[in-house]
Amino acid sequence: MPTCGNYKLKRKLGEGGFGSVYLAKHIETSKKVALKIIKPEMMEHVNMDDIEKEVEILKQIEHPYITKLVEAGNCQLSSRGRSNEVYCIALEVASGGELFDFISMTGAFSEDVARYFFHQFLDALEYLHEKGISHRDLKTENILLDKNFNLKIADFGYASEKGSNQTQVGTPDYMAPEILQGEKYSGQIADIFGAGLILFMMHAQSKAFLKAEQSDPYYKNIASNRPDKFWKEHVKSKGDEHYFSEEFKDLITGLFAYNPFHRLTISEVRSHAWFNGYLPTSDEIKEEFRRRKVDLEDELKRQKDEDPTQAEFDTALLEGNSVHRGIGDSDEETKEICEREEQEYDEDFENYHKFFSTSSVEDLWTNLCAYVTGITSEYKFSADEYSISAKVIKEETEGEEDAKKDSEPIEFLVNILKVPDQEKHCIDAIVMKGNKFNFTEQFRDLKQFFGGHANAIST
């Protein structure tokens, strides 16, 4: 496997405009980290001042519910006898995976369970704000879990130490209305808005709205001071008038306020009746997750017996010097398929969008390519690993009631990982952008496809 400075790369966790993120292990101590790698070819596309600013902010942070910086700097990336200098950021790894992957695969949290994690989230957010730091990109992808099911806030690429901001950064779906309008805004007050979105998704297992704009069919009711209509629509979609407690509704409405100066403060949240409701113990949370994992394994076994999707695939696409269009590439920019190395499955790193197969890596690779090229023309084959990133646009359904699940593109990464000391591989999918619940539907389709074309098994 490739090495980067003092770390051995184990598997890819994601890709972004700045480069790639890997699960890596320190060669001497065996400590695992999430390693962001910015390669030389990416330097001209990345503002290194912003990267260094992120590192400086991370150096100030020490909190149990925030991912910790381990080290950062230039180092040598070595693979297959080649070596070049890259810039790396090593971060504490949250081995429990993404909180919302778990929710999307196993169902919404009760208000009590959501309260448990929201307490941790608010502790971390208050800590940041007391240090004069706003996160400015609070979203589902940035809420992780450690091995003991403690929440971790991650990704400080857009963090700010300014009292007033005007740059429109973050993810549009999660931006507060004042940011979308291009106004000057307080990053800390915008963070409160993001906190409301995260709490709502924990309990509802869906988005509250598409964007915080007055044209949005859901948010317009908040913006026009008609929260009763907002909740009427959400209660209707749940089919249960008692699904949301009145205290929950009141808290969320206060967090979503259109006018940032009317939004609840952290101290007001702490004194709110909902926040001070029953709080499960850590043992109760562990039992909740154990039960959900058992239910998930049963569901995966059930899916294995369903009729698989059938597809045709031209294997000539995979021959020697074939080239494939990458996401965002122009017609002239293509990348040759090179010899690949197998990444390693790590059972200590949890990902809920995965399944296993006893087929050979080449058969699995052929099937993965067949699946991806069959659903989209926007994909990129890794030249180094058995890995593909893809972008899929969900087709709109005529008359679809759920206005929160539109044709938003989903960008995801699929890895084929070798399970150590066993004759099987793990097919592992990670969403990089887009609606997580739409992605879960896409993952189930991927697994069903493999069930018909390779020896897919649940465990």
Model pLDDT for residues 104-163, shown as the tens digit of each residue: 888 999 999 999 999 999 999 999 999 999 999 999 889 999 989 999 999 998 999 999
| Cα–Cα distance for residue pair 414/426, rounded to 1 Å | 10
Instruction: Output the six-digit token pair for 248.
Output: 């929950």
Q: Which fold has domain 306-457?
A: TATA-Binding Protein (3.30.310)
| Cα–Cα distance for residue pair 17/174, rounded to 1 Å | 19
Q: Is 391 annotated as a binding residue?
A: no
Q: What is the pLDDT of residue 297?
A: 72
**pLDDT classification of 315: cutoffs 50, 70, 90:** very low
Residue 396 contacts by C-beta under 8 Å, 6 or more apart in sequence? Answer: 406, 407
H, E, C per residue of 194-259: HHHHHHHHHHHCCCCCCCCCCCCCCHHHHHCCCHHHHHHHHHHHHCCCCCCCHHHHHHHHHHCCCC
| Cα–Cα distance for residue pair 302/361, rounded to 1 Å | 25
Domain ranges of the chain: 3-92, 98-282, 306-457
Give me the helix-helix angle, 246-255 and 227-238, nearest 10°. 130
Strands 343-344, 409-418: pairing is parallel
Instruction: Output the six-digit token pair for 253.
Output: 């409405």
Q: What is the pLDDT of residue 400?
A: 41
Model pLDDT for residues 15-24, shown as the tens digit of each residue: 766 778 999 9
Checking if the pLDDT of 76 tops 90, the result is yes
Checking if the pLDDT of 324 tops 50, the result is no
| Cα–Cα distance for residue pair 366/360, rounded to 1 Å | 10
Model pLDDT for residues 227-260, shown as the tens digit of each residue: 999 999 999 999 999 999 999 999 999 999 999 9
Q: Which CATH class is domain 3-92?
A: alpha beta
Percent pLDDT > 70 in the chain is 86
Q: Which residues are catalytic?
A: 137
- CATH, range 98-282: 1.10.510.10
DSSP states along 82-120: EEEEEEEEEEE--TTEEHHHHHHHH-PPPHHHHHHHHHH
Q: What is the mean pLDDT of residues 168-182?
A: 92
